[in-house]
Amino acid sequence: MIWLWLCYALLCVLDAAGGQRIVGGQETSIRQVPYLVYLRQGGKFICGGSLLSPSCVLSAAHCVYGAEAKDYTVHAGASRLEAAAPVVRNVAQFHIAPSYDPGNFDMDVAILQLSSRIHLSAGQVTTIAPCRTAPGSNAYVRISGWGVRNEESREPAAQVRTTLVRVVPQRECQQAYAGQAQISDSMLCAAVRGIRDSCSGDSGGPLVYRGEVCGIVSWGFGCARAAYPGVYTNVASNRVRNFVDQTLRKLRS
């Protein structure tokens, strides 16, 4: 997944930086996931995100790393990519975790500061809180996005999709990637291995547990491969949570 999930967000780091789609999920409406937004770069769909406040979006650092905020827009309240989103905002500034490592995706987290506040609407555009306690091993969590439905695909989903995946115990995740990639304390793994997973285009989107965003789609080897669970930024980990809290406080002051 590392290289293919890089494809995930930037429509493939190896293949041009791509999107991801939920594998093994089903179509849904934005009313079921009203905190979910998507990002466009130069008008092209690139990643997902979560609305933390009317002016802040949580996403993956690799979705914006090396790019310019002026080229990005955030789209909220839309179920379908080709439909005009009812809410569109320019991005004023990226706040990327200072310790983000693009080589191994440690601290793959960013907050996008919007140029103007989004007006919330019940059931269609709402915020979601970052979680303080990570979901336990084997807990089922929700992932949603417009990513591709299998790793051979290059086209994002037309309609937002969602599914439930299982949090993989940290030791099991580390063993899956042993000798190939490092699973740090800023990461957690989740999938129904070989069946359900996030994929290219889902990058930056939320992993939700008990009504809070507990993970950010980050990377992995392939999509829904039995040997390799998807890897997510662990929002409740101390380093990630400190960055999120400090950034939100700074933006509120």
* 101 included as an active-site residue: no
Active-site option among 50, 62, 75, 218? 62
Active-site option among 79, 144, 203, 218? 203
Is the predicted pLDDT of residue 10 greater than 60, yes or no? no
* Residue 29 DSSP one-character state: -
Ordered structural domains, the chain, with CATH: 34-127+239-251 (2.40.10.10), 128-236 (2.40.10.10)
* 237 included as an active-site residue: no
What local confidence, expressed as pLDDT, does residue 147 receive?
Answer: 82
What local confidence, expressed as pLDDT, does residue 9 receive?
Answer: 39
3-state SS assignment for residue 170: helix
Residue 144's nearest CA partner among 63, 237, 31 is 31
pLDDT tens for each residue of 138-172 = 999 999 999 866 666 667 888 999 999 999 999 99
Contacts 24+ apart (CB under 8 A), 67-73: 67/41, 67/94, 69/93, 69/94, 69/112, 69/113, 71/41, 71/42, 72/39, 72/40, 72/41, 72/112, 73/39, 73/40, 73/43
Is the predicted pLDDT of residue 8 greater than 60, yes or no? no
Residue 213's nearest CA partner among 194, 239, 234, 199 is 234
Active-site option among 108, 184, 186, 198? 108
* 203 included as an active-site residue: yes
Q: Out of 3-12, 152-161, 182-191, 198-207, which region has the weakest mean confidence (pLDDT)?
A: 3-12
What local confidence, expressed as pLDDT, does residue 155 receive?
Answer: 78
What local confidence, expressed as pLDDT, does residue 183 receive?
Answer: 97
Contact 10, 2 (CB under 8 A): no
Global confidence as pTM = 0.90
Is the predicted pLDDT of residue 59 greater than 70, yes or no? yes
